[in-house]
Structure 1
Amino acid sequence: MNASSNASVAPFWPTRYGIAAAVATEDAVARSLQLYGEWAEHETILLSGLLEEGQTVLEFGSDFAAHALWMAQAVGRHGEVHVAEPRRIRFQQACANVAINRLDNVFTHPVWLGRGKGASSLGTLLPGSRGQDEKVRIATVDSLRLPALHLLKVNQPHALVDVLAGAGDTLRAHRPLIYARLSGMEDAQAEVDAIKALGYRAWSHVPYLFNSDNHAGVDANIFPGMVQQNVIAAPVDSRFEFPERLEL
């Protein structure tokens, strides 16, 4: 199959884990969902061996609910997936995908997860983003009062340190795994240090954006050589080990 065969305009996109409402393909996530029917599948390959039925996940940064569709299946009807997304349109698009797939175990929160409570402009929190004057509500992970948490997944760059600062009680109570996208060379060391300061060990995960075994069977690679700089972390006293990965 070539790259043009899946590029026609349609109201919905068939993806590996459900139906996604079509959105403007102006960023990597949307382009991947449209062309390949999946996004960052190498992340789900790693995490699929770690999630179990009945567990609870919190994800910051919805990515159009691309991974929430998978996580909802992974934790099953007795588990819960919580998705925090502060950007209004992104939030609405994520909600649409949750609704059309009838995911009763997914809960969406229109908030920016940080170290305190209040409000701010999107431009202050996420410089260079669209809608910089848009006001967003800030909340802490602790304020969500989750009764359980097995995985904290942070997709939003330049947010991890503040997310962890507002999650102290939750992390101490539930000791979840942490999976996060690092923010680049300037911030990565501080982000890893913040994780380790909470009594965690951290390992590098560098997944390619292109998956040759993608859902749509498309051979063309629109992300040549592109990888994400991610980290997987587990409490020092947990059973989890990742010996095949570089410990940070």
Structure 2
Amino acid sequence: MEKIFVAIASYRDPECQWTVKDLFAAATFPDRVFVGICWQFDSARDQDCFAVPYPRPEQVRVIDVTLQETRGACWAKSRALSLIEDENYILLIDSHMRFAKGWDVEMIETLFRTGNSRAFLSTYPAGYEPPDKRRFSTPRLAPVKFFDRVMSQNSVLLEMPRPLESYLVAGGYLFGHREMFEQVRYDPHIYFIGEEITHAARYFTHGWDGYTPDKCLIHHYYSRKSSTKHWEDEKDNWTKLNKASYKRVRHLLGIERTTDVDALTAIESYGLGDARSLTEFQAVIGVNFNAQLIDRKRYESIASTEAALANPIPPVSAHEMAILGVYACRHGHLLLPKRDAYIGKSLIKYGEWTDGLNQLCGNLFSSGDTVVEIGAGFGARTLPFARLVGGEGTVIAVEQSRRLVDLLHANIALNSFDNVRVIHARAGSLPGAVEITEPMFDSDENFGIVSHRKAKAPLKPYVLEIPLDHQNWGQINFLFIDTPGGVSEVLHGAGRLIATHRPTIVANADNAADAETATEYLRTHDYLLWKYSCPFFTLENYFRSKENIFGGLRSNCIVAVPDNRDLSAFAAIRL
């Protein structure tokens, strides 16, 4: 039997009693709902908070705390969460809420509709006014500004066709699996400001993905002007707690390191994870903590893009549906050929393509960098690169196949990126033109490899061959070459770029002869070389599928760094 634990931190709030009453009344299975409250109150002044008895007192667990004992909102939430027993799902809310009928079943069902076993739901809920005047909307969280170097957020109203990724956290509406709350414990040492962005970063770096629910299941009382706050009752204590909390938040987010022992209390128990990096988190939410920048263009386009997804245009024909499809994957929605033997098959089955390589690359360049991707295909690698460089960075995606370029443009538009520049060309050693054999999407092929030869007849399909040295793309920070058998040609056409810009280089090494030539070339340019091998299948895949359809197949790469960085932590081997 699935049970839900509802954690509530209540500070002198008369609405809490009505919140508890409504959550039981609106539940489809109230016998499966259990409540834990950290009650912070003054026994002499707050009798109005307890006028209504709990409807199921045997299912309500309470910790009573005096006003002098409490240490802020997160501390109280942590205490409430300590009352969890054997429940499967956890809902963390504020003490002033109302609930939709059947909210308990709907929240679990919404979580499963994400198709992600490590999903959680969170947003700023629609509002209500006591006793029960409700508004109905599905807001989605978005960064809005920086206050004292810490990011704050707001919400935009959207019509959503399904739960949508947002990766941000609202402290008053957080629903997820028990495992998430056990793995990422709520930090009691953050006072209030910074609670949401630090927990969002911690969930993300531990491998959990936040979604905005597409249904209005819960309501929040926002206009509580007459309500007493802790910082009003305990002004002296609040100042000290808040000062240490700000330092802790900035430290956790890599904005400003501190040695203040009060700010670093038990920090080892409440830090970031190692499943994904803080750089990746900033990229997916479109911010730069240190520069205090927000990619506003990206968020301005969210409403129009997702409105289009809510009302999709039907396909032209059944044949079109048979060969192409749109799939929700780890790094975005992808229009891809269904019969692709490797990349497409992996994205459809696992929601990702050799994501270990994406994680490695994410640690080799930074937000704001310029990345050149040779052999971009339909964008399986382009999308994560575009998220990682952020709004201030650029991805230059070079692809020789016209059909794959068309899909690449579609996927860039589908995911609202305006930081990707697509170049329809073949990167090589000398300027010229090559004939291209375009992939046929209605047959089983490896669309990651497109055959070519030097152009002879002008009437045949051809594409320009360009050396990278002939391009004026500014400072290049990272060069990714995914052209099996053609890596050394690309490098020989980029000698001046490599000598001048000294980019970090990751190159496909699946063709042994080509990899050997490329390795020797890079050695002559004083690069430190590593070999990295990424399996096609891992149990940690995005869809958590346990079926291995690729056996022991792996993608092999040469990683060339212009400095002494140690990549052994990524299971790379020094050459």
TM bucket, shorter chain: 0.7 to 0.9
Q: Are 1:112 and 2:443 matched, yes or no?
A: no
Per the alignment, do residues 218 and 63 of structure 1 end up closer, same or farther by CA in structure 2, a change over 3 Å counting?
farther
Q: Alpha-carbon deviation of 1:129?
A: 4.5
Q: What is the rounded CA distance, in whole Å, between the counterparts of 1:114 and 1:131 in structure 2?
A: 12
Change (3 A) 1:120 1:63: closer
- Matching residue's letter, 1:225: G
AA aligned to 2:431 is K
The answer to whether 1:28 aligns with 2:336 is no
User: Taking every aligned residue pair, what percent have the same amino acid on both sides?
Assistant: 26
- Cα pair 1:42 1:211 within 8 Å, conserved: no
What is the deviation of 1:239? 4.4
Partner of 1:145: 472
- Quick one: distance in 1 between partners of 2:530 and 2:549? 27
| TM, length-normalised to structure 2 | 0.39
TM-score computed with the length of structure 1 as normaliser: 0.88
The aligned runs of 1:71-150 (5 Å cut-off) are 71-122=385-436, 129=450, 134-150=461-477
Query: Greater Rg, structure 1 or structure 2?
Result: 2
CA displacement 1:41-67 (0-9 Å, x = unmatched)? 110121122221100100111132111
- 1:98 is displaced (CA, Å) by 0.7
Structure 1 distance, partners of 2:433, 2:350, is: 36
SS at match of 2:574: coil
Q: Mind listing any 5+ residue stretches in structure 1 that lack a counterpart?
A: none
Cα distance change on mapping 1:184 and 1:113 into 2, 3 Å: same
Aligned partners of 2:557 and 2:385: how far apart in 1?
18
Q: Secondary structure at the match of 2:545?
A: coil
What is the alpha-carbon root mean square deviation over aligned residues?
2.1
Q: Give yes or no for the alignment of 1:242 onto 2:567.
A: yes
Q: Which residue of 2 aligns with 1:52?
A: 366
| More divergent stretch after superposition (133-142 vs 202-211) | 133-142
For 2:331, the aligned partner's letter is Y
Distance 1:11 1:182 in 2: 30
Would the alpha carbon gap of residues 136 and 64 (structure 1) be closer, same or farther in structure 2, given more than 3 Å must change?
Answer: same
Residue in 2 aligned with 1:199?
526
| Deviations 1:193-248, CA, capped at 9 Å, x for gaps | 0111222121110110112111122111111111122111112xx24232453222
144 and 27 in structure 1: CA distance in 2 versus 1, 3 angstrom threshold: farther
Structure number with greater CO (CA < 8 Å, separation at least 6) is 1
**Which residue type is aligned with residue 142 of structure 1?**
D
Aligned residues: 236
Match of 2:355 among 41, 46, 51: 41
Please give the per-residue CA displacement for 1:158-206, whole angstroms capped at 9, x wherever unaligned: 1111111111221122111000111423332112101112221211101
Residue 179 of structure 1 is matched in structure 2 by 506
Q: What is the DSSP-based 3-state SS (H/G/I as helix, E as strand, rest coil) of the residue aligned with 1:186?
A: helix
After superposition, the Cα gap between the structure-2 partners of 1:147 and 1:27, relative to the gap in structure 1 and judged at 3 Å, is: same
Q: CA deviation at 1:22?
A: 3.4
Change (3 A) 1:206 1:138: same
* Whole-angstrom distance in 2 between the partners of 1:28 and 1:233: 25
